Amino acid sequence: MAEDQPVESPEEFRTRVAAWYAANATPRQETDPWAVNLQTDPAEAAKHFETSRQWQAKLADAGLMGLAWPAEYGGGGGPGWMTRIEREISRDYEEYTGFAGATTAMLGPALLRHASEEQKQTFLPALLSARLTFCQLFSEPGAGSDLASLGTRAVRDGDEFVLNGQKVWNSAAQFCDWAFVLVRTDPDAPKHRGITFLLLDMKSPGVEVRPLVQINRATHFNEVFLTDVRVPVANVIGEINEGWSVARTVLANEAAFIGGGPKAPASDNLRSLARESGADKHPVLRQSLADLITRERVVGWMGEQIQAAIRRGEMPPMDPGLIKLMTADIRARSGTLAMELRGAAGLAGDEPETFWAQSELVGRFAISIGGGTNEVLRNNLGERALGLPREPGFSKDQPWKDIPR
């Protein structure tokens, strides 16, 4: 909170925020439990993106974005419990911040930790207010699971870097104003130590965005081609050739966001399918459903603990990659169980239950890949959390240019 403002109690803050939402937002209506959040029409997807962006701007104007961020960067400078209370209240309303809010949660902590003072003053208020929206340009056709092997080159030319390469699986890149991008600035250094983290204006000459049509007919992901794109050296976050540490901050927050965001548990619908088919009396299927419900609740508790630590400015009590890995496992179990409970009706037909079950099955792979594949996360958890030796492979001190690709 600003120094000249009286300190509110949690009860006073809750009353004030609840009154603001009641006056400015739409109370959540009873929704179809079988509805799938999917935009297959590009125009509808663009409208959804812009609506969410405008809502975040409205929240920022009301002082309800970045409640625990430093006030000098557009935040509220308040304690972490303010963020928790605001999120609790917001769940009763239709409006939400969507993709802009997700990237704020991912990029904001990295800028707070690694950016220069000038960069913080420039980008953090714009990020909080959604005046600038950012997409992530990390993965490449040859550097997905092993992100540190990325090959998009950035060659310094005076006060600029010249970028050439291709990125892929870039969410909402067709809508965003800016990007945070990883580039190879020193091919003679080991792969983790020759990477630089840049902020890139997506309107720069040489940036081409091509939407990718997914199996569910949506075009949420894109591939981005960079051809002689010039980026000021002043846009480097952290140090040149030391961008991997910045990327890890982003990836940790991404994993926590993917695994810890509020969402209706799939088990609610799975219970309905079980009752409808009579499978709720089948001992093996009942056990599978009980196992999934238990895992959902454990992950929910873990997410609360991680988010609470982040709001307090503390290190999470567990590796965020763990909650993301467990969420991917739950999604895989949910998709399999949904089709098993639906039976032959899950293969064809236009019933909402059928479409939901199919989407649950197809969507299992997105969680297993996005934000780091399960296989890579298991390696990282083994090394970081359990202290296991590194996986056998090329020497970590071997120059990137000498590693076969």
User: Which residues are identified as catalytic?
Assistant: 254
209, β-bridge pairs: 224
Nearest to 311 by CA among 244, 353, 253: 253
Q: Is 169 left (phi over 0), alpha (psi -120 to 50) or beta?
A: left
- CB contact set of 196 (below 8 Å; sequence gap of 6+): 154, 161, 182, 183, 184, 185, 236, 240, 241, 242, 243
| Cα radius of gyration (the chain) | 22
CA separation, residue 401 to residues 166, 188, 264, 325 (Å): 17, 6, 46, 31
The whole-angstrom separation of Cα 81 and Cα 318 is: 20
Nearest to 200 by CA among 244, 154, 241: 154
**Strand spans (E) along 32-177:** 134-137, 153-157, 160-168
Instruction: Give the position of tokens 């999917």.
Output: 38
199, β-bridge pairs: 180
In single-letter form, the type of residue at position 86 comes to: E
